[in-house]
Amino acid sequence: MATKKANVLTIKLVRSLIGAKPNHVAVAESLGLKKIGDVVSQPDNAATQGKVAKIIHLIEVTNA
């Protein structure tokens, strides 16, 4: 049986969290981003897309 590969987003923190609003810092940390240059892979679902939309000015997103 063929398996379907799940869509995955690769998210990289490119701007500093210093001076960011506390809720933006919390969203970044919930994604696993703590320092500039951190890269994480997250599933491409509604929850992740909402988090990305909240901090899009701090990150770069690519499809993996």
- Asked whether the predicted pLDDT for residue 8 surpasses 60, the reply is yes
8-63 fold: Ribosomal Protein L30; Chain: A, (3.30.1390)
The C-alpha angle 39, 43, 44, rounded to 5 degrees, equals 105
- Asked whether the predicted pLDDT for residue 64 surpasses 90, the reply is no
* CA–CA gap between residue 48 and residue 36 (Å, rounded): 19
Claim: this prediction has a pTM higher than 0.85: yes
For 52, the token pair is: 């990305």
Residue 9's pLDDT band (boundaries 50, 70, 90)? Answer: very high
pLDDT one-digit tens code per residue, 16-58: 999 999 999 999 999 999 999 999 999 999 999 999 999 999 9
